[in-house]
Amino acid sequence: MESLEEFKAFIKKGHLEYRPNISVDCVIFGYRAGQLKVLLVRNKLLTSWCLPGGYIRKTETLDEAAARITKNRTGIGNLYLHQFKAFGDPNRNKTKSVDMNKLSELVELDSKQLGWLEGPTITIGFYAITDIVQAIPAPDIFSIECAWFSATDLPKLGYDHNELVREALFSMRIHLYHFPIGKNLLPEKFTLREIKEFYEAMSGKELNASNFPNKLISLGLIRKTKEKRNIGAHRSPVYYTFNKKVYEKALKEGLMLV
Amino acid sequence: MESLEEFKAFIKKGHLEYRPNISVDCVIFGYRAGQLKVLLVRNKLLTSWCLPGGYIRKTETLDEAAARITKNRTGIGNLYLHQFKAFGDPNRNKTKSVDMNKLSELVELDSKQLGWLEGPTITIGFYAITDIVQAIPAPDIFSIECAWFSATDLPKLGYDHNELVREALFSMRIHLYHFPIGKNLLPEKFTLREIKEFYEAMSGKELNASNFPNKLISLGLIRKTKEKRNIGAHRSPVYYTFNKKVYEKALKEGLMLV
């Protein structure tokens, strides 16, 4: 939303452009140096921190809606978004997550106009994993801020969004065992300790310091380079890198990482 | 639907009871003796075989809708239904899967009444796995038949239902590696050959004849009984059974079956 006029038109005529009573919400995980975070947004109309979300246009696919909405709400584009679950409890949007006083200050509320926004709404959850970058809030007149929170220590979110994050974590952690991950989240060259730390943050589990990297090596997913990191006289771990061919093949066909 | 009157009321007043433009479709997998099948339905209004599906009531959860709809359409109750994906391509229900001539013979079509059924519809896919039992079609006045088809050799289905089956198989096969399966699909006592055959039908992969059962045994998921099947003088394989405690725990907490 770039102007109040645009917002008023959305409330009044949104039913022509958007599918009523169905939305998309996105759990954007961010990784940096052993930490797993989640991106939350706060705007003037919401009473709590929420996941970035919005309505789906009648002319777009669910994937297109998720990409457009995250880009608009957070300024982050080019995410590899995975759909993980739809949420349809009839009571899920009865919570008072929208500040009706603030809403009525902005728009003269007419129950006829608001009709398409009323009633039980189903939301379709997507998740993505990105390097923690500076999220640049989009020029949305309602945005206050968008910020990273620890995935394991979130505040109470609006609607059922805490449940969405739990389910996204669950799905992401299963996905982790079947598809390669990390090429855009780790530096081009990394130590075995760094990739183990990355998988530990993602899976929420402690991994065996030698079995785990050996599995990655035996699958051909990562390979040794000739370079070492020079930390000190007796500590100079070898750098590894992803084998791009194996990685791309596994992205398509899946693998078994256990 | 038990009568034409009920159907007419559904067309005319369905928007009061059901969520518009969002449905549930269910992929019911059936297993029996090494074969994996899918249950399809055919009714008088559809031009092709389809998955059992229907609209979601405003007062029910997605899981409740999936259970009610499969019971009504196929007569099969008590299924353990897993949600796997939502499908929202704007063109997915533009295909002519409903026979409009037959529909207009039954109901005087009035574009105002049909309005809530028009426009792009999102469907939420669920799958379940059951023993192949005689599916008793519900007393739905439109049902012609409901029948099992080989999961790997399906006819061209209505809407995007072939894609739904492919995606359900993909999800079920990932689930298979993280959660126990088979307690209601195999006999109380089974041979290692039978459980291997079962997992091969489910995963669509050939499994190693000794490594695979050994993994199940080392996880404690199955255990030896003192009984043997007497096939002949030199062939009397030992019967195994699920360890119910380990099975129930793994259902809740997950496991790694690779």
What ipTM goes with this model? 0.87
B177 touches A at CB < 8 Å: yes
Decide if pLDDT at A146 tops 80: yes
Query: Average pLDDT in the A61-75 region?
Result: 92
Q: Which pairs from B5-13 meet CB under 8 Å and 24+ separation?
A: B7/B106, B7/B107, B7/B141, B7/B142, B8/B106, B8/B107, B11/B107, B11/B113, B11/B114, B11/B117, B12/B113
Decide if pLDDT at A138 tops 70: no
A65 to chain B: closest CA residue? B88
B18 to chain A: closest CA residue? A120
B187 touches A at CB < 8 Å: no
CA distance B22 to chain A (A): 8
- Dump pLDDT digits (tens) for B92-123: 877 667 777 777 777 776 666 666 777 789 99
Dist. CA B253–CA B242, nearest whole Å: 17
- Dump pLDDT digits (tens) for A15-25: 889 998 899 99
Mutation to test the A interface, candidates B85, B160, B179, B253, most A Cβ within 10 Å: B85
Q: Give residue B116's pLDDT.
A: 73
Dist. CA A256–CA A98, nearest whole Å: 44
Question: In terms of DSSP H, where are the helices of B110-179?
Answer: 111-114, 161-175
- Dump pLDDT digits (tens) for B122-138: 999 999 999 887 656 55
CB pairs under 8 A between A and B: 72
Q: Give residue B217's pLDDT.
A: 94
Which chain B residues are closer than 8 Å to A22 by Cβ?
21-22, 122
Q: What phi-psi label fits residue B50: left (phi over 0), alpha (psi between -120 and 50 degrees) or beta?
A: beta
Dist. CA A239–CA A250, nearest whole Å: 22
DSSP B118: -
Q: Which of A124 and A97 is assigned the larger pLDDT?
A: A124
Q: Give residue A136's pLDDT.
A: 63
| Percent of chain A scoring above 90 in pLDDT | 52
Confidence bin at A189 (pLDDT 50/70/90)? very high
In terms of Cβ atoms closer than 10 Å to its own Cβ (0-12, 13-18, 19+), residue B154 is middle
Dist. CA B97–CA B95, nearest whole Å: 6
Decide if pLDDT at B60 tops 90: yes
Decide if pLDDT at B204 tops 60: yes
Decide if pLDDT at A84 tops 80: yes
Least confident of A3-17, B22-36, B73-87, B96-110: B96-110
Structure-token pair, residue B212: 């695979």
**8 Å CB contact of B90 and A122:** no
Contact A197, A170 (CB under 8 A): no
- Listed by number, the residues of chain A in 55-84 with a beta carbon closer than 8 Å to a beta carbon of chain B are 56, 58-62, 65, 83
Q: Give residue A116's pLDDT.
A: 73
Q: Give residue A137's pLDDT.
A: 57
Helix H or strand E encompassing A10: helix A4-17
Identify which of A86, A119, A258 has the shortest CB distance to residue B124: A86
Q: What is the DSSP string of B220-235?
A: TSEEEEEEE---BTTB
CA distance B230 to chain A (A): 37
Which chain A residues are closer than 8 Å to B199 by Cβ?
none
Q: Give residue A7's pLDDT.
A: 81
Dist. CA A203–CA A161, nearest whole Å: 20
Identify which of A19, A83, A120 has the shortest CB distance to residue B21: A19
- Dump pLDDT digits (tens) for B138-195: 546 677 788 899 998 999 999 999 999 999 999 999 988 889 999 889 999 999 999 9
Dist. CA A77–CA A71, nearest whole Å: 5
Query: Average pLDDT in the A96-101 region?
Result: 73
Q: Which of A2 and B52 is assigned the larger pLDDT?
A: B52
Query: Average pLDDT in the A101-109 region?
Result: 74
Residues B190-211 as b or e (16 or more Cβ within 10 Å = b):
bbbebbbbbbebbbeeeeeeee
Nearest to B29 by CA among B131, B125, B123, B157: B131
**8 Å CB contact of A119 and B59:** no
- Dump pLDDT digits (tens) for A214-229: 999 999 999 999 999 8
CA distance A85 to chain B (A): 6
Which chain B residues are closer than 8 Å to A60 by Cβ?
90
Q: Which of A159 and B233 is assigned the larger pLDDT?
A: A159
**8 Å CB contact of B56 and A88:** yes
Q: Which of B80 and B27 is assigned the larger pLDDT?
A: B27
Which chain B residues are closer than 8 Å to A177 by Cβ?
177-178, 256, 258
CA distance A22 to chain B (A): 8
Decide if pLDDT at A30 tops 70: yes
Q: Give residue B96's pLDDT.
A: 66
Decide if pLDDT at A8 tops 90: no
Per DSSP, the three-state class of A219 is: coil
B176 touches A at CB < 8 Å: no
B120 touches A at CB < 8 Å: yes
CA distance A227 to chain B (A): 33
Q: Give residue B24's pLDDT.
A: 97
Dist. CA A229–CA B218, nearest whole Å: 40
B23 to chain A: closest CA residue? A122
- Dump pLDDT digits (tens) for B205-233: 899 888 889 999 999 999 999 999 887 77
Which chain A residues are closer than 8 Å to B85 by Cβ?
83
Contacts of B37 (CB under 8 A, 6+ apart): B29, B30, B31, B132, B148, B149, B150, B151
Least confident of A88-92, A101-105, A129-133, B12-16: A101-105
Q: Give residue B75's pLDDT.
A: 84
B124 touches A at CB < 8 Å: yes
A177 touches B at CB < 8 Å: yes
Identify which of A65, A86, A90 has the shortest CB distance to residue B58: A90
